[in-house]
Every structure is written in structure tokens, then in C-alpha cells.
């Protein structure tokens, strides 16, 4: 212990290494705690909003609740129409003052302010009744969320529920579990660069330490003494960095709370990891750093005279990529066929294995690159770099590992992003852009006709069944429906409008409590229908006279001037119905895509910064480790400019070669994850964009910038360093 502490007190290079170890561990610990706090933030949101999904799983159906999305002025609104089914107390969650009875309304603070500042016919009339209070933060997803709970005597399209009580929410169900998968993918691919950074810092001045410890072993030090000295020397910086990382995580979480997700920011306490997790990471980080330093002592402990020998690499490392890919795709198959909390476990293990395999196989590629340039190049700087790459590929690749993982992550993300964009639920082409359509209508539409002067289009939807299969159709007056349905061009006289003749003649419309059926006449005219949305055919109501008065859908063509008023009239007079509004649907899709793009940019930026820092630390460490060698070269007359070129090539050449392989692996893994996400959502394309190769260029630039960090260290070397050694 005394020897280790004496080294730290008196050796400047060991002090620099200790400071860099502390900084590396600090960055890694704070980032890991931030990543581990992300699921906690999502879970906190899910718990606060669990009352919105408290549908009945028992015999007690105290209330009916209909949940719908709404929008106004580019802002999404969560609306809940509720009605009492039986007398007695209705349980409510924290943040809900009381259950709103018929004619009573609860609004979130942000929505209440918006209602007060907006004409009632545009927004306030959507929530008819007396406001009896405000929803507290315990019932909101984020601080400025727009939420309304409106009480009614009866909710036509509601689901039974025991009340509005709190519970344990599940963010796994948000958008078909995609968010659950993406958060864990981000955790895996960003933890690996953290580990690479810590390893780079821990291996700083490794060569000089090995020479010193080998001398101590030859002087009579026992293996235990050598191990303890290394552990103490490394633990000082690791423990200090771990403590600083824990302290830094707290303000970091408050900054993270300002990043929007799902339409709003976070409450300050959302991004707080569990104390057990904090303690575990704080202890595990120094243990891993010390363990990595001790693991590298096997050669010094067993063969101290071989401390100067260069490590050789075996070609079997390349096979690890094949094995890791096999585990990953096995996980994809398993996740597609199973469910539950362990659904993605094998996928994430495979993803981590692929990232680790790239790091493991990197020295093999580095050695091959070095041999290529040694055999074919004659420039002094390139020859020096080639000799370094082929002679000690493990040490030479260490600076490239973080950049390689960043390129792998970037290619994977850019492969997935266009495919995820195709799965975002934007408005389809069923209804015209100017139309607002209410579906599953069981109300009397007379109040709607009185509430607005806009034309009201009534429709009845159902299926034309034939041999167990059904064609989705809409029944109505063609002249009216053509104002809201895309691709419908009317001609005089009753007819069926369809791309081809209908396969059956029986119309069926299952509704709440009853099923309506009707028969098409034996002979009717079929006219072309160019619709490209969910509606496959349109039937003129005169062909089905038995359902002349039936209504299940209401559409209203709007203008920019009356759109808000029409929307308000529909919501206020037909409570609980689901509105198909292109604006609201587009806002939801835009919000989701903005979240995905923002998360991608943040994740890739962090990966690039970590990779760059790791490369800079490793490059500076390689100069410090070879101070005697560079001093001898300078003493022999080698210009520092040539040595600088050689150092930059040492970083750039393996980065360029290995990042191409990392880019290919990222594309393959990205398509695999996209297949899994597509299976969860049930739709979407798998497009390919040439931008997936952009991370290779970015990685090379990051590596070049990192390589420049060794310049000041190199310029501080003189021939005296060789004499001092």
C-alpha cells in the first residue's frame, strides 16, 4: 500500500492517469444512472395515469368511461367522458378532487387556462358543465398536459370500470411496446461505450505500470503484493470518479426533465433512479475498473520477464461476431413468439453480444490493416503506424473501440428510423382532409344539427359477408357521402361503388346490443370507386331500404373558418364517440416522430462524444506509454511532425477499416429490430436509406479529432525522456 501511494504522490504520469480514470468513471457512472433512471421516469408517468386505464376486471362496474384524443390549435387533448352506473362512493386517484357527476367537469390547470382564453364555441363547449376543480400533478402525465374529465348522465360508448382509482401502470403498452424495446436498446448500446471509456482510462499508462510491477516481481514481490498495489493505485481514481458520478447524476436528471417526450416535459422527480440501483452502480463501477486492471496483470504475475512482449491476437475472435448475430436473431424469433417481461431479454443479450464481439474482433482487423500498410507503403509515418498496428493490435485498437460502437449504434438507429416513421399512425386516405367523422355513433344526431349550420352527413357502416370473409362498406346517400369520403364520384341513380363486384349480398352491422342485417337486391349496378383507405365499397342507401334510418357514423365537411366550431359541436353533442380528425391524428404522429428523432440525436451524440473521449484518452495514453520509444526516435533525429502523422494514422487506419464492418453489423441489427417492431405494431415498411453509411464518415472525423489530442503530449517529449528511462 505504501509503495502504491508513494507512486501516486511522486509520479506525474500516474497522477494524470488517476485523474483521467476518475473522469472516465464519473462520466460512465452519471450516464449509466441517467439511462437506468429513464425507465423509472416512464414508469412514474404510467403510475400517475393508471386511473385512465382502470377498466373493470371484476363484477363491480361502478362507472362507464370513454377515453378519446382531442386537439386544439396544434395541441393534443386527453378527454374522458364518465357516467355513474350505480350509487355509492366512486374511488378516485390522487390528483382527482372528486368523481364528476352529470354536468360537472374537471380540467387540468393548462387546459383550464386555455379554455378561459378561448371563445366557448371553439373549445369550452366541448366540456359542458360546471368546473368543480382542477386535476393535480399526481393525475397528469406531464406538467402542461391538457386533460378533461367530463361527467354525464350516460356514456353511450363507454367501457365499464370500478372507478378512477390509481394503480400500477405499464408503459410497456405505450404504442405496442415499442417504447419499452427502444429504451432498453438505448440502455445497452450506450452502456457499452461507457465501459469502453472506463477500460481506456483504466489501461492508461498500462505499459509503464507493467514494467514497474515486473521489476518489483523480479525484486522479490509476491503476486499478492503486485495485485494489491495495482488495485490501490486504480481504486483511488475509480472511487473518486464513482462518487463524483453519483453527485453529478442529480443535476443531470433535472436537465433531462426538460427534454419533451409524448408532448410534454417531465416532473423533476421522474428521473431519479432507485437508491439500490445508485448504490449498486456506485460500487460496481470501481470494482469493474479495478478488476480490469488486475486482469491485465496475468502476464506480469506469471512471467515478469515477458512484460515487454507484444500481445498476439487469434483469428477466432472473428467468429464471435457470427455467434453474437446468432444469439441476436434467436432472440428476435423468441420475442416474436412470446410475451411477458422476459420477451426482449434474449434480444438485448444478443445486441450487447454483437457490440462486444465488434470490440473483441477489432484487434484482428487492426493487425491485418497494419500488415497491409507495412507490406505496401513506404512513407515513414505510415510505416511507423503500420508497425504499431501489426505489432500490438490490442493496444492500437483500444482507442478505436468507442468510435466503432458509436458507428454501430448510428447505423442501427438510421436503419430503424425510416421504418419506424412508416409505422407512425398518421391519417389514412379514407376521409377527405376537410372532413371530421364521428365513428360508433349511437346517439340521436338531432342536437348536432341544431348546434352547427355545417352540413351533416349520416352513414351506416358494416360488412358484406361471403364465405366467412367480409368487405368493409359504408351505406348512405351518395351526394352527401361524397363530401367526406375520398374517391367517391356519384352519378344519378342507386348503385354500388366498388373496385370490383361484391362477392356477397348480405349486409351485416354488429352494434351494441343488436346486429342489423339486410339483403342487397338480386340486380344492381356496380360503378368504379377509387378509394384507397379503410372503406372498400360504398352502397347507396336506396338499395337497402330496410336500414334507411340507421346511423353509426356522422361526417361533417368543414372549412378552415368553422373547423374548430364543428369539432366542438361534435364533441359536445356526441359525448364519448371517437372522432377521426386528420389534424389530431397528424399531431399525434408528428409528436411521436419528433420524440423518436430527438431520442436518436441525443443517443448518437452521447455515443459519439463517449467514443471521441475514449479515443482521445487511449491516444494520449499510447504516447505516455511509449514515451521512452518516442524519446529515442526524437534523439535519433525523427521529426516530431512525422511522429504526429504516425500517431494520427494509428487511430485513423483501424477506425476506417473496422467502422465499415460495424456499419454493416448495425444495418443488419437495425433491420432485425425493425422486423420485431413491425410485428408489434402490425404494419409499416422496411425502407433503406443511404444515410446509414453516414456514421462511418462521422466516426472517422471523430477519431481524427480525438487523435489530435495526442499532439500536445507528443510535443512535451524530448530526448531527455529516453535518457531518464
Instruction: Express each pLDDT in 589-623 by its tens digit.
Output: 788 788 888 888 888 888 888 888 877 877 777 77
Q: CB within 8 A of 615, min separation 6: which ones?
A: 200, 399, 400, 402, 403, 651, 655, 702, 703, 706, 707
Domain termination site, one of 263, 289, 309: 309
Q: How confident is the model at residue 243 (pLDDT cuts 50, 70, 90)?
A: very high
Alpha helices in 54-117 (DSSP H): 109-116
Compute the average pLDDT of residues 282-299.
81
Compute the average pLDDT of residues 704-722.
72
Q: Is residue 497 part of a domain?
A: yes
Q: Is residue 419 part of a domain?
A: no
Instruction: Say whether both 183 and 35 belong to one domain.
Output: yes
Q: Is residue 123 part of a domain?
A: yes
Compute the average pLDDT of residues 138-149.
93
Q: Is residue 701 part of a domain?
A: no
Instruction: Say whether both 143 and 245 belong to one domain.
Output: no
All 3 cell numbers of residue 115? 379554455
All 3 cell numbers of residue 92? 378516485
Instruction: Say whether both 446 and 563 belong to one domain.
Output: yes
- What are the tens digits of pLDDT across the range 83-92? 998 888 888 9
Q: How confident is the model at residue 461 (pLDDT cuts 50, 70, 90)?
A: very high
Q: How confident is the model at residue 142 (pLDDT cuts 50, 70, 90)?
A: very high
Instruction: Say whether both 156 and 294 belong to one domain.
Output: no
Instruction: Say whether both 43 and 127 belong to one domain.
Output: no
Instruction: Say whether both 549 and 445 belong to one domain.
Output: yes
Instruction: Say whether both 46 and 143 belong to one domain.
Output: no
Instruction: Say whether both 145 and 185 belong to one domain.
Output: no
Q: CB within 8 A of 321, min separation 6: which ones?
A: 354, 357, 358, 361, 665
Domain termination site, one of 526, 560, 580: 580
Q: Is residue 157 part of a domain?
A: yes
Q: How confident is the model at residue 505 (pLDDT cuts 50, 70, 90)?
A: confident
Instruction: Say whether both 127 and 192 belong to one domain.
Output: no
Distance in angstroms (rounded) separating the CA atoms of residues 409 and 414: 9
Compute the average pLDDT of residues 243-267.
86
Distance in angstroms (rounded) separating the CA atoms of residues 152 and 82: 6
So what's the pLDDT on residue 491? 92
So what's the pLDDT on residue 682? 47
Burial (CB < 10 A; 0-12, 13-18, 19+), residue 512, is exposed
So what's the pLDDT on residue 379? 83
Compute the average pLDDT of residues 381-402.
84
Instruction: Say whether both 448 and 512 belong to one domain.
Output: yes
So what's the pLDDT on residue 128? 86
Q: CB within 8 A of 354, min separation 6: which ones?
A: 321, 324, 325, 328, 408, 665, 669
**pLDDT more than 90, % of the chain:** 22
Q: Is residue 249 part of a domain?
A: yes
| Domain count for the chain | 3
Residue 671 has pLDDT above 60, yes or no: yes
Instruction: Say whether both 278 and 180 belong to one domain.
Output: yes
Burial (CB < 10 A; 0-12, 13-18, 19+), residue 594, is middle
Q: How confident is the model at residue 392 (pLDDT cuts 50, 70, 90)?
A: confident
Residue 560 has pLDDT above 50, yes or no: yes
- What are the tens digits of pLDDT across the range 434-452? 899 998 888 888 888 888 8
Instruction: Say whether both 4 and 80 belong to one domain.
Output: no
Domain termination site, one of 580, 603, 623: 580
Q: CB within 8 A of 589, min separation 6: which ones?
A: 424, 425, 426, 427
Q: How confident is the model at residue 529 (pLDDT cuts 50, 70, 90)?
A: very high
Residue closest to 23 by CA, chosen among 271, 279, 242: 242
- What are the tens digits of pLDDT across the range 205-235? 666 677 777 888 888 888 888 888 888 888 8
Alpha helices in 219-344 (DSSP H): 223-256, 275-295, 298-302, 319-337
So what's the pLDDT on residue 679? 57
Query: Domain of 240?
Result: 1-50+173-309
- What are the tens digits of pLDDT across the range 9-68? 887 777 777 887 888 888 888 888 888 887 788 888 888 988 887 665 555 678 888 888
Q: How confident is the model at residue 178 (pLDDT cuts 50, 70, 90)?
A: low
So what's the pLDDT on residue 176? 44
Q: Is residue 430 part of a domain?
A: no
Q: Is residue 256 part of a domain?
A: yes
Residue 483 has pLDDT above 90, yes or no: yes
Residue closest to 28 by CA, chosen among 155, 139, 192, 263: 192
Which of the pair, 625 or 385, is modelled with greater confidence? Answer: 385
Amino acid at each position: 500500500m505504501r509503495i502504491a501511494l508513494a507512486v501516486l504522490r511522486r509520479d506525474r504520469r500516474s497522477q494524470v492517469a488517476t485523474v483521467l480514470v476518475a473522469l472516465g468513471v464519473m462520466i460512465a457512472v452519471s450516464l449509466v444512472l441517467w439511462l437506468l433512471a429513464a425507465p423509472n421516469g416512464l414508469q412514474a408517468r404510467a403510475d400517475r395515469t393508471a386511473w385512465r386505464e382502470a377498466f373493470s376486471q371484476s363484477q363491480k362496474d361502478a362507472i362507464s368511461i370513454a377515453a378519446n384524443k382531442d386537439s386544439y390549435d396544434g395541441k393534443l387533448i386527453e378527454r374522458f367522458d364518465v357516467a355513474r352506473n350505480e350509487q355509492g362512493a366512486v374511488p378516485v386517484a390522487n390528483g382527482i378532487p372528486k368523481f364528476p357527476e352529470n354536468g360537472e367537469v374537471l380540467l387540468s390547470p393548462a387546459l383550464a387556462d386555455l379554455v378561459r382564453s378561448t371563445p366557448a364555441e371553439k373549445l369550452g363547449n366541448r366540456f359542458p358543465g360546471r368546473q368543480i376543480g382542477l386535476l393535480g400533478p399526481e393525475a397528469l402525465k406531464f406538467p402542461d398536459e391538457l386533460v378533461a374529465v367530463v361527467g354525464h348522465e350516460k356514456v353511450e360508448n363507454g367501457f365499464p370500470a370500478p372507478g378512477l382509482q390509481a394503480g400500477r401502470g405499464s408503459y410497456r403498452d405505450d404504442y405496442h411496446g415499442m417504447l419499452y424495446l427502444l429504451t432498453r436498446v438505448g440502455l445497452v448500446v450506450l452502456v457499452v461505450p461507457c465501459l469502453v471509456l472506463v477500460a481506456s482510462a483504466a489501461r492508461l499508462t498500462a505499459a509503464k505500470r507493467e514494467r514497474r510491477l515486473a521489476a518489483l516481481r523480479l525484486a522479490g514481490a509476491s503476486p499478492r503484493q503486485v495485485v494489491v498495489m495495482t488495485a490501490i493505485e486504480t481504486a483511488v481514481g475509480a472511487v473518486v470518479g464513482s462518487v463524483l458520478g453519483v453527485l453529478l447524476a442529480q443535476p443531470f436528471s433535472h436537465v433531462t426533465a426538460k427534454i419533451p417526450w409524448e408532448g410534454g416535459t417531465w416532473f423533476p422527480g421522474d428521473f431519479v433512479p432507485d437508491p439500490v440501483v445508485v448504490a449498486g452502480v456506485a460500487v460496481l463501477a470501481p470494482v469493474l475498473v479495478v478488476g480490469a486492471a488486475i486482469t491485465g496483470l496475468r502476464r506480469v504475475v506469471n512471467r515478469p520477464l515477458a512484460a515487454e512482449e507484444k500481445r498476439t491476437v487469434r483469428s477466432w475472435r472473428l467468429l464471435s461476431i457470427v455467434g453474437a448475430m446468432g444469439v441476436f436473431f434467436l432472440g428476435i424469433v423468441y420475442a416474436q413468439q412470446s410475451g411477458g417481461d422476459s420477451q426482449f431479454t434474449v434480444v438485448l443479450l444478443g445486441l450487447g453480444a454483437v457490440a462486444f464481439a465488434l470490440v473483441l474482433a477489432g484487434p484482428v482487423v487492426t493487425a491485418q490493416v497494419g500488415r497491409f500498410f507495412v507490406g505496401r507503403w513506404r512513407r515513414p509515418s505510415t510505416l511507423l503506424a503500420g508497425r504499431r498496428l501489426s505489432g500490438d493490435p490490442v493496444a492500437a485498437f483500444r482507442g478505436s473501440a468507442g468510435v466503432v460502437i458509436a458507428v454501430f449504434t448510428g447505423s442501427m438507429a438510421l436503419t430503424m428510423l425510416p421504418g419506424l416513421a412508416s409505422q407512425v399512425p398518421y391519417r389514412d386516405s379514407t376521409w377527405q382532409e376537410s372532413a371530421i367523422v364521428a365513428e360508433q355513433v349511437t346517439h340521436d344526431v338531432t342536437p348536432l344539427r341544431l348546434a352547427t349550420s355545417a352540413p351533416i352527413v349520416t352513414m351506416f357502416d358494416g360488412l358484406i359477408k361471403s364465405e366467412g370473409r367480409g368487405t368493409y362498406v359504408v351505406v348512405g346517400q351518395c351526394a352527401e357521402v361524397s363530401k367526406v369520403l375520398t374517391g367517391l364520384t356519384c352519378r344519378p341513380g342507386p348503385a354500388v361503388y366498388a373496385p370490383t363486384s361484391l362477392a356477397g349480398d348480405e349486409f351485416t352491422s354488429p352494434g351494441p346490443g343488436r346486429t342489423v342485417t339486410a339483403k342487397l337486391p338480386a340486380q344492381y349496378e356496380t360503378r368504379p370507386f377509387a378509394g384507397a383507405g379503410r372503406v372498400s365499397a360504398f352502397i347507396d342507401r336506396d338499395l337497402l331500404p330496410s336500414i334507411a334510418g340507421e346511423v353509426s357514423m356522422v361526417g361533417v365537411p368543414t372549412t378552415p373558418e368553422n373547423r374548430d366550431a364543428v369539432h366542438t359541436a361534435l364533441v359536445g353533442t356526441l359525448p364519448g364517440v371517437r372522432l377521426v380528425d386528420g389534424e389530431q391524428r397528424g399531431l399525434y404522429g408528428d409528436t411521436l416522430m419528433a420524440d423518436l428523432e430527438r431520442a436518436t440525436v441525443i443517443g448518437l451524440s452521447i455515443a459519439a462524444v463517449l467514443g471521441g473521449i475514449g479515443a482521445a484518452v487511449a491516444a494520449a495514453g499510447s504516447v505516455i506509454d511509449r514515451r521512452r520509444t518516442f524519446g529515442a526516435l526524437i534523439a535519433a533525429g525523427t521529426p516530431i511532425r512525422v511522429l504526429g502523422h504516425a500517431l494520427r494514422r494509428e487511430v485513423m487506419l483501424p477506425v476506417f477499416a473496422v467502422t465499415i464492418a460495424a456499419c454493416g453489423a448495425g444495418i443488419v441489427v437495425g433491420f432485425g429490430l425493425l422486423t420485431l417492431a413491425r410485428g408489434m405494431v402490425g404494419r409499416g415498411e422496411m425502407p433503406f436509406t443511404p444515410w446509414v453509411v453516414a456514421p462511418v464518415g462521422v466516426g472517422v472525423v471523430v477519431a481524427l479529432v480525438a487523435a489530435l489530442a495526442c499532439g500536445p503530449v507528443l510535443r512535451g517529449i524530448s530526448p531527455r525522456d529516453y535518457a531518464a528511462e
